[in-house]
Amino acid sequence: MANIMYDLGKINDKPYEGERKMPAIVSVAEAIPPNILKQNEVMDFARDLFSESFNDIERLLKAFHNGQIEKRHFVKNLEWYKTEKSFQERNQTYIDCAVDLGVEAINNCLMSKNFLTRNILYDEIDAIFFISSTGIATPSVEARIMNKLPFNQHTKRIPIWGLGCAGGASGLSRAYEYCLAYPEAKVLVLAIELCSLTFQKNDRSKSNLIGTSLFADGVACALLTGDRADRHSFQKLDAVPAVQHTQSTLMHDSLEVMGWEVKNEGLFVVFSKDIPSIIATWLKPIAIDFLHESHVEIDSICHFIAHPGGKKVIDAYQHSLGFSSDMTNISLDVLKEFGNMSSATILYVLRRFMEIGKKGEYGLAAALGPGFSSEMLLLRWEN
């Protein structure tokens, strides 16, 4: 009964009073897809593809430079995307590559020399939250991975599909809630997005052109632990981000802002040009109210762990929240080096913040996705 009361008392999604330990993010690692494409290469590819559809193609191609992306990583080389592929072929490629890269990301996370003093064994993991929006698989990808790695057969599987760019932050939030309910748990959040495999060669829309300038493939895995998991026996850093509070927000009547249109040929990108202006007006009151619930002022935030949807999105974050460019430098660096990898991107950003965070510092993690929606986490670095 004591354990039941302990668990139920922690599930109310409200910030705690006092100094109780909270679920923490202990390790984050990536698996980098093998094919590196410079932005100029992709721009030339887009010029050849879209020139017949747009009279002002050179003006539109400025998006490739204005976004400040320098290179991206894809699971296939550029030649592969030049020929038409069926939905079945692209989706099977998604499954095959997702399993291989997912195995690599999990191993990198559980055996990280940067964040762990010892390897975490597979059978120590209680649950796997699998996040993706760029392919379809039943059995889902984490089940296929569990046939390659010796996880306990009773490991809980929680696949989450369709949250797009907000998925990584949402996965962290749901894992946090799991660790509140099961405070001895060790939980993985595995985000796999192979955006390039959704590319539609015959889609000559501006949304597809902009998507071609932004999106990339990325895979990352995070390890979260409950407050009874004795993380001090394997935690290497002096302080790690503990999740204090989370918030999910849906903007009603905004289904057309971002997402997929599902057709016979596969997934067609929906990407509104109004996203930066929506962020500039909608995000701030949500963020302020969220922080006030935890009695934290926005000026107390030392680290802004933002999903970098694009350069205009980063600029909109700064304008909306009043942050200086220094607060978004890490997000911009990830964008420059990797592009927008949908849900996985915020885990790439988080890993870099974990290397610099100090005890007592607050961080705000934020990502926006289809719905239109936002996911936020308040973090505090604890030893």
In 3-state terms, what secondary structure has residue 98? helix
Q: How far is CA 133 from CA 98, 121, 286, 330, in A?
A: 12, 28, 25, 24
* Length of the chain measured in residues: 383
82 phi/psi in degrees, rounded to 5 = -80, -15
Dihedral class, residue 13 (left if φ above 0, else alpha if ψ from -120 to 50, else beta): left
Q: Give catalytic status of residue 97 as yes or no.
A: no
Rounded Cα gap, residues 57 and 43, in angstroms: 11
Report yes or no: 10 and 178 within 8 Å, Cβ to Cβ: no
Report yes or no: 317 and 332 within 8 Å, Cβ to Cβ: no
Report yes or no: 179 and 224 within 8 Å, Cβ to Cβ: yes
Report yes or no: 342 and 370 within 8 Å, Cβ to Cβ: no
Q: Half-sphere exposure of residue 184, counting CA atoms within 13 Å on the CB side?
A: 3
Set 109, 165, 179, 195: catalytic member: 165
**Is the peptide bond prior to 372 cis by the omega test (within 30 degrees of 0)?**
yes
Distance of alpha carbon 222 from the chain centroid: 10
Report yes or no: 343 and 193 within 8 Å, Cβ to Cβ: yes
Q: What angle do CA 378, 316, 304 make, to 5 degrees?
A: 25
The catalytic residue positions are 165
